Structure 1
């Protein structure tokens, strides 16, 4: 951004902070850059001139020490707001954090000027006029600041307030969800999306400020559902977000991923390539392309594309997919190289633990494979692949009772999985309506070959 635009934006943020200090709940805790930057900057400059000039004029006219003190305090408050607006920007936002720094000089200035004005205009008939005016202003400030204390004391609440006031405030949504995405808290992510959608209903006109938030919240819920492996629901949300905001490139990546996971790789590839041409996020879109190629069975192309995604800055999901693709290609050393850093970064990552166990399994390392599958199940007891492979692994090793234990666990947890019956037949575990639920369709008694876990989420 050129320096005139930087200066204009800084003036606007300084005035915004001064108003926030007077009325902390009346404006957004973190303002978005205005559309009419030049006009807004001119108005902000005029407001600053008035804030500095009027007290100075009043002090010069009254020649009273109280008025001069009030003018000096106002200049100090503006200086504090200017410094705080410069500090609380970018990664150090939201701006409302600066209220704490500006409140003392600003409310001191207002109370002092109120006392000076009372002394000049209320006349001698009003006893304690100066003290009464000062106390009234200080009381008002205390009420405002104490009422806003819960908001100002929490970054999360400030970002929620910013999103509630401005439906286009996608930065606020990113700040609220980034820690949850990093920790893969699927339920919490879905809860954030639900709350956001409640704030900005999808019934709002597409031209309203709520429309971008509606699209972003739908895309966020789609991501949460992708990570929870609910591909059909994720695709519905992603389609709705795209239909509502067709020009918002950010929703295209989520849609492309959802299409790939839902088994529509051709359209997923088309959406991702179109978004790349429009300047979309290459890390996410290359990852979506890799998912589309993998679902279409074009594994060499998928490996090439996921490497491009990683080079563009894609994180855990792309690394996990790269490891899974390497396993499928028989490149166990390459898979280990991709997955080991993820295991170091998060030793409780169930997908990584499973894939490392699968590598040990394919290398004939019984103990390593068994311990890895068990570790994956401790983190995620609903990991069907880990339970299935563990049952086969122990059966092949002749550990019959343990194998039957895992078969029973598999059938109980996944009664509709057709592999359950085959596992039961292979290991000699009784399989009936009372134990396995509805009888699944018949399949090869040997079961499907072990497969690598590739994340279906995004980022």
Structure 2
């Protein structure tokens, strides 16, 4: 962005902050840059200059100390707004946090100017006219600012307010979902998507419109459903978002990943490559490309793309996929190097714990594998792969009772898993209520790494 564009955006945001200070609940706590940046920048510069010019004219017209003080305070307020706008941007947004900083000089200026105007025009018949006007203005300011304190005191509420005003506010969506993704709070992620769609329902969008609000909400719900391993529903939402807003790069990235998860590898690859050519986010699209290659069985290509995605800034999902692919390639040291930092970042990450246990298992480290599988189950009791492999591990070690205990738990929790019948036969555990869904796809020694839950249901 050129310095002229930066200046225009700064002036727009400064004017927005002044308006927020006057009426905090009337505008978005964090405005989106307008499309006509030069036009709105010019208009903002004119508005700010007009406010300062009018205050100077007012002081010269009345020729009183009160009027001069009010004009000076307004200049201070505008300077404060310009400085606060510089501070509350980027990672320190939303802008509305600057309201408390600007409120003191701005409302003091308005109160002083109101007192000067009352003294000049109301005449001597109105006693305490200056004090009354000042108190009235200060009271109005207090009602406006303090009445919005619950909103302005919470970054989360401010981002929700920004999303409510503009459903295409991707920064607000990112701020609301990133902490949930980092903490693996997948149910809450789905709740954010549902609330977003409630604010901007599909039925409210006119037919044939670009519907950017709905696109953002649909892409978010697709993301949530990917993390919940609901590939079919995720693909439907991603397709709908892509159809409504073909130019929205985030929706295309979600669609590419959803297609890969659903096994439509050729289209996933085509979508990811097309989006990359159009300037889409490389880290996300390269991960989708790696996922498509993995699903198609091109593991060497998948591993190369996963490494490229990590170099481009991709996070946990790409690192987990790279670790899983390294295990499949027999590169246990490489897999450990990829997965250990993830375990340090989140010691309760069930997929990472499972893969590290699998590495120990493949190395013949019984204690390390057993402890790792148990840790994965503690983090996620529904981790079928950890339960399955733990039953086999203990059976091979001759600890039959523990093996049967885990086999019974597997049959109880996952009655429809076709591996259950084979596991029961291997460990000598009665099938009971377990489904006899045919022959299992894996023999007793076949263990697969878990990838991102959005990409697979664990060990496949």
1:193 corresponds to: 193
How far did 1:392 drift? Answer: 0.6
2:437 corresponds to: 440
Greater mean deviation of Cα atoms: 85-94 or 319-328: 85-94
2:234 corresponds to: 234
1:455 corresponds to: 452
Counterpart-to-counterpart distance in 1, 2:442 and 2:74: 83
Aligned runs of 1:195-210 on 2, under 5 Å? 195-203=195-203, 204-205=205-206
Give the match's secondary structure for 1:99: helix
Does structure 2 conserve the Cα–Cα contact (< 8 Å) formed by 1:29 and 1:161? yes
Does structure 2 conserve the Cα–Cα contact (< 8 Å) formed by 1:419 and 1:448? no
1:9 corresponds to: 9
Counterpart-to-counterpart distance in 1, 2:135 and 2:188: 45
Aligned runs of 1:89-104 on 2, under 5 Å? 89-104=89-104
1:289 corresponds to: 289
Does structure 1 conserve the Cα–Cα contact (< 8 Å) formed by 2:343 and 2:353? yes
Q: Please, what TM-score do these two structures have when normalized by structure 2?
A: 0.95
Does structure 2 conserve the Cα–Cα contact (< 8 Å) formed by 1:269 and 1:292? yes
Does structure 2 conserve the Cα–Cα contact (< 8 Å) formed by 1:206 and 1:245? no
Counterpart-to-counterpart distance in 2, 1:15 and 1:359: 58
2:88 corresponds to: 88
Counterpart-to-counterpart distance in 1, 2:286 and 2:42: 43
Q: Cα gap change, 1:42/1:206 in structure 2, threshold over 3 Å: closer, same or farther?
A: farther
5+ residue gaps, structure 2, are 456-460
5+ residue gaps, structure 1, are none
Counterpart-to-counterpart distance in 2, 1:257 and 1:242: 13
Does structure 2 conserve the Cα–Cα contact (< 8 Å) formed by 1:327 and 1:359? yes
How far did 1:42 drift? Answer: 2.3
Does structure 2 conserve the Cα–Cα contact (< 8 Å) formed by 1:151 and 1:158? yes
Counterpart-to-counterpart distance in 2, 1:443 and 1:337: 32
1:145 corresponds to: 145
Does structure 1 conserve the Cα–Cα contact (< 8 Å) formed by 2:293 and 2:302? yes
Alignment RMSD (CA, Å)? 1.7
Q: Cα gap change, 1:105/1:207 in structure 2, threshold over 3 Å: closer, same or farther?
A: farther
Counterpart-to-counterpart distance in 1, 2:153 and 2:187: 25
Aligned length: 454
String of CA shifts for 1:370-412, please: whole Å, max 9, x gaps. Answer: 1110010000000000000000111111101000000110011
String of CA shifts for 1:109-152, please: whole Å, max 9, x gaps. Answer: 11111111111111111111111111111111111011110111
Give the match's secondary structure for 2:148: helix
